[in-house]
């Protein structure tokens, strides 16, 4: 069954869109990531103009991350104070990222820099997650004591705050700095940044996997609201029919994801996310290496 | 439909006799296409009468738009974007049909002037020879893949040496705007008559409302989109909460 998307100006199969939404929903419920890093390329490959795919995806994430956020909030797995600090750093970061992007593009060759840093980032984060989760699993089987986060001098910097939900008493400087850097990267690379933020919170801040997902969803919710409004206002690229169908498909997905999280241990979750990130990294590398079908790529200007 | 068509043609021929200066008369079964939410493409019948024996060529050209093209190039074993160019007046739909294959008509000059055939479409921004060959061919290839250009030439049927008809197929990937339908009557490689008709493609129903709102008031549209996503997310949460509780 086909449906016409008025902003994308193409017709798409309803069930195809619903199933993409479902997959994104599972990812969002399980890992606290928006899922945009997966759905946006699929939409573009299926013929949706890239700008419309990005804009509508932002709107879709507003809905799916709200559902996820409320789920985790109810189970007391959201650290509001931590989320607010991460948001603050993220907003400042993405503002300077947009500025940096303009600076780089004036000098040219911005895209090479972006794709290399992106691949480097994804590759190292993904491989580290796999390595760590497998090690933890082994240790658990042997029955030895595990300590996920070790206190270092970074956590002991001034302005220490008690993060009750995360069971942490650390300085606000590391979370601010991390979210700032991710904000810069996200703005340059045009992604939400959830899949970098989640590992950063787990490994650099030492939060537990469950709280990380809820808190990440809170951050993603606010970021996607801002970017939906920006995309709609500046580019007119938000297709509500498209994002509505993705949301509808995600209904079941988000619940299933959250359901699985309740029954799976933290290191298994981290391992799965690690696998997904490594796969994404390999996909990006293959795009650079394998001969493309089209050497010329078209973008419609209004 | 058939009866209606015959009636139409008889009606045409009667006008035709009254106004013998016109060598070609043509019409389309519908002059407008409405794109609603369930739009799956459209099929129109294009038909007419010619007064002199010859070959009929029909070309349909969609609205022309500005397109930014990125070119990928292999450098040090990696495919990277090497260059971007902006092209103007790129038609967003193209289709051509004729009574015989274009090559057999010996009218390459005429086709070039009238932009008949994929290889004769002109874009502003592609004046240099090198651009013409590689960039424009790249655009045409992408357009064919997207279903906007038809690489295969359609066939026009002629009956009684006078009546011609052909089917115009529009895929669901249709942008709104005015589509030009140009009919040429050729004899020995020269144009002896020409006629232009129009098809108006517009969005209707929900599609039109959404499109208008997004373009007229982007800020309000964005806020509304966020609002609906919020309500949706909240309702889903409430439903499942009750379901699991």
Most confident listed range (A31-35, A195-199, B71-75, B194-198): B194-198
Residues of A in Cβ contact (< 8 Å) with B140: none
Average the pLDDT over A140-144 and give the result: 70
Distance CA A198, CA A207 (A): 10
Contacts of B86 (CB under 8 A, 6+ apart): A301, B66, B67, B68, B69, B125
Q: Is the pLDDT of residue B111 over 70?
A: yes
Q: Is the pLDDT of residue A83 over 70?
A: yes
Average the pLDDT over A205-223 and give the result: 86
Distance CA B173, CA B176 (A): 10
A247 touches chain B (CB under 8 A): yes
pLDDT of residue B127: 64
pLDDT of residue B7: 58
Is A85 a domain residue? yes
Q: Do A111 and B80 touch (CB under 8 A)?
A: yes
Question: What range defines the domain where residue A8 resides?
Answer: 2-289
Find out whether A269 and A27 touch, Cβ atoms under 8 Å.
no
B245 touches chain A (CB under 8 A): no
Q: Is the pLDDT of residue B31 over 70?
A: yes
pLDDT of residue A231: 83
Is A186 a domain residue? yes
Q: Is residue B245 helix, strand or coil?
A: coil
Is A35 a domain residue? yes
Confidence of residue B19 (pLDDT cuts 50, 70, 90): very low
Strands B64-75 and B78-91: antiparallel
In this structure, the answer to whether residues B23 and B134 fall within a common structural domain is yes
Distance CA B117, CA B102 (A): 8
Question: What range defines the domain where residue B84 resides?
Answer: 2-203
Q: For chain A, positions 17-36, list CB contacts with chain B under 8 A.
A: none
In this structure, the answer to whether residues B49 and B145 fall within a common structural domain is yes
In this structure, the answer to whether residues B85 and B43 fall within a common structural domain is yes
Residue A178 distance to chain B (closest CA, Å)? 27
Instruction: Tell me what the pLDDT averaged over chain B comes to.
Output: 84
Which residue in A has a C-alpha nearest to residue B90's C-alpha?
A300
Smallest Cα–Cα separation from A197: which of A294, A89, A41?
A: A89
Summarised one tens digit per residue, pLDDT across range B144-197 is 988 889 888 889 989 888 899 999 988 888 888 999 999 999 988 888 889 999
Q: Do A232 and B36 touch (CB under 8 A)?
A: no
Which residue in A has a C-alpha nearest to residue B214's C-alpha?
A236
Residues of B in Cβ contact (< 8 Å) with A232: 214, 218-219, 221-222, 225
Distance CA B109, CA B103 (A): 12
Number of domains chain B is built from: 2
Distance CA B95, CA B148 (A): 9
In this structure, the answer to whether residues B208 and B186 fall within a common structural domain is no
Distance CA A42, CA B158 (A): 45
Strand partners, A160: A171
Find out whether A221 and A65 touch, Cβ atoms under 8 Å.
yes
Q: Do B141 and A294 touch (CB under 8 A)?
A: yes
Average the pLDDT over B46-61 and give the result: 91
CATH number of domain containing B179? 2.60.40.2550
A281 vs A145, which has greater pLDDT? Answer: A281
Summarised one tens digit per residue, pLDDT across range A148-179 is 555 666 676 777 777 877 777 888 888 899 88
pLDDT of residue A230: 83
In this structure, the answer to whether residues B178 and B228 fall within a common structural domain is no
Q: b/e string for A65-95 if b means 16 or more Cβ within 10 A?
A: bbbbbbbbeeeebbbebbbebbbbbbbebbe
Contacts of A217 (CB under 8 A, 6+ apart): A28, A32, A65, A68, A69, A72, A78
In this structure, the answer to whether residues B102 and B211 fall within a common structural domain is no
Q: For chain A, positions 220-239, list CB contacts with chain B under 8 A.
A: 225, 228-234, 236, 238-239
Q: Do B72 and A292 touch (CB under 8 A)?
A: yes
Is A294 a domain residue? no
Find out whether B50 and B24 touch, Cβ atoms under 8 Å.
yes
pLDDT of residue A239: 93
A137 vs A113, which has greater pLDDT? Answer: A137
Confidence of residue A95 (pLDDT cuts 50, 70, 90): confident
In this structure, the answer to whether residues B210 and B182 fall within a common structural domain is no
B222 touches chain A (CB under 8 A): yes
Q: Is the pLDDT of residue B10 over 70?
A: no
Which residue in A has a C-alpha nearest to residue B82's C-alpha?
A109
> What interface predicted TM-score (ipTM) does this complex get?
0.80
Is A295 a domain residue? no
A246 touches chain B (CB under 8 A): no
Residue A67: which of B175, B223, B237 has the nearest Cβ? B237
% of chain A at pLDDT higher than 90: 13
Q: For chain A, positions 113-132, list CB contacts with chain B under 8 A.
A: 115
pLDDT of residue B118: 87
In this structure, the answer to whether residues B214 and B191 fall within a common structural domain is no
Is A297 a domain residue? no
Total Cβ atoms within 10 A of residue A274: 22
A177 vs B5, which has greater pLDDT? Answer: A177
Average the pLDDT over A283-299 and give the result: 81
Q: Do A62 and B230 touch (CB under 8 A)?
A: yes
Confidence of residue B20 (pLDDT cuts 50, 70, 90): very low
Number of domains chain A is built from: 1
Is A301 a domain residue? no
Q: Is the pLDDT of residue A87 over 60?
A: yes
B130 vs A224, which has greater pLDDT? Answer: A224
Distance of CA A10 to the CA centre of its chain: 27
Find out whether B86 and A298 touch, Cβ atoms under 8 Å.
no
Confidence of residue A32 (pLDDT cuts 50, 70, 90): confident
Instruction: Tell me what the pLDDT averaged over chain A comes to.
Output: 83
Q: Is the pLDDT of residue A265 over 80?
A: yes
In this structure, the answer to whether residues B95 and B142 fall within a common structural domain is yes
Q: b/e string for A3-33 if b means 16 or more Cβ within 10 A?
A: bbbbbbbbbbeeebbbebbbbbbbbbbbbbb
Point out the least confidently predicted range of A64-73, A293-302, B220-229. Answer: A293-302
pLDDT of residue A58: 87
* DSSP-assigned letter for residue B22: -
* DSSP-assigned letter for residue B54: -
Average the pLDDT over A51-72 and give the result: 88
B22 touches chain A (CB under 8 A): no
In this structure, the answer to whether residues B20 and B103 fall within a common structural domain is yes
**What stretches of chain B show up as alpha helix (H) in DSSP?**
2-18, 108-114, 129-145, 205-216, 218-244
Q: Is residue B199 helix, strand or coil?
A: strand
In this structure, the answer to whether residues B209 and B129 fall within a common structural domain is no
A164 vs A237, which has greater pLDDT? Answer: A237
Is A200 a domain residue? yes
Residues of B in Cβ contact (< 8 Å) with A74: 241
């Amino acid at each position: 069954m086909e449906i016409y998307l008025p902003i994308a100006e193409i017709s798409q199969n309803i069930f195809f869109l619903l199933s993409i939404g479902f997959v994104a929903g599972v990812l969002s419920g399980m890992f606290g990531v928006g899922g945009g890093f997966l759905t946006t390329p699929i939409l573009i490959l299926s013929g949706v103009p890239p700008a419309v795919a990005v804009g509508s995806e932002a709107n879709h994430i507003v809905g799916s991350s709200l559902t996820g956020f409320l789920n985790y909030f109810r189970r007391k797995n959201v650290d509001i104070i931590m989320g607010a600090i991460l948001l603050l750093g993220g907003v400042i970061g993405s503002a300077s990222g947009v500025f940096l992007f303009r600076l780089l593009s004036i000098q040219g060759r911005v895209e090479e820099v972006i794709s290399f840093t992106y691949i480097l980032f994804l590759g190292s984060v993904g491989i580290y997650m796999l390595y760590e989760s497998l090690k933890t699993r082994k240790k658990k089987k042997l029955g030895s004591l595990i300590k996920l986060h070790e206190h270092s001098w970074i956590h002991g910097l001034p302005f220490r705050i008690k993060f009750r939900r995360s069971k942490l008493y650390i300085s606000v400087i590391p979370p601010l700095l991390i979210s700032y850097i991710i904000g810069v990267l996200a703005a340059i690379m045009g992604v939400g940044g959830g899949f970098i933020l989640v590992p950063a919170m787990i490994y650099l801040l030492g939060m537990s996997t469950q709280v990380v997902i809820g808190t990440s969803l809170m951050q993603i919710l606010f970021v996607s609201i801002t970017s939906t409004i920006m995309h709609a206002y500046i580019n007119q690229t938000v297709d509500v029919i498209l994002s509505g169908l993705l949301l509808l498909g995600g209904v079941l997905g988000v619940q299933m994801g959250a359901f699985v999280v309740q029954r799976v241990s933290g290191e298994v979750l981290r391992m799965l996310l690690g696998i997904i990130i490594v796969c994404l990294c390999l996909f990006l590398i293959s795009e650079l290496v394998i001969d493309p079908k089209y050497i010329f790529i078209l973008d419609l200007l209004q | 439909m058939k009866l209606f068509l015959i009636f139409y043609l008889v009606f045409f021929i009667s006008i035709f006799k009254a106004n013998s200066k016109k060598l070609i008369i043509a019409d389309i079964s519908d002059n407008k296409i409405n794109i609603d939410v369930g739009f799956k493409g459209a099929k129109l019948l294009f038909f007419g009468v010619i007064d002199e024996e010859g070959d009929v060529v029909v070309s349909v050209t969609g609205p022309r738009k500005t397109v930014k093209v990125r070119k990928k190039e292999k450098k040090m074993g990696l495919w990277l974007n090497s260059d971007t160019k902006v092209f103007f007046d790129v038609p967003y739909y193209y289709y051509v049909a004729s009574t015989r294959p274009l090559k057999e008509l010996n009218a390459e000059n005429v086709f070039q002037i009238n932009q008949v055939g994929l290889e004769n479409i002109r874009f502003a921004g592609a004046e240099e020879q090198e651009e013409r060959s590689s960039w424009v061919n790249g655009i045409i290839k992408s357009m064919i893949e997207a279903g906007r250009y038809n690489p295969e030439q359609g066939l026009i049927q002629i009956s009684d040496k006078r009546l011609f008809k052909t089917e115009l197929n529009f895929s669901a990937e249709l942008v709104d705007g005015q589509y030009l339908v140009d009919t040429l009557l050729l004899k020995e490689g020269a144009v002896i008559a020409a006629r232009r008709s129009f098809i108006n493609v517009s969005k209707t129903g929900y599609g039109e409302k959404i499109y208008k709102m997004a373009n007229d008031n982007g800020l309000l549209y964005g806020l509304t989109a966020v609002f609906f996503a919020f309500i949706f997310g909240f309702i889903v949460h409430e439903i499942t909460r009750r379901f699991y509780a």
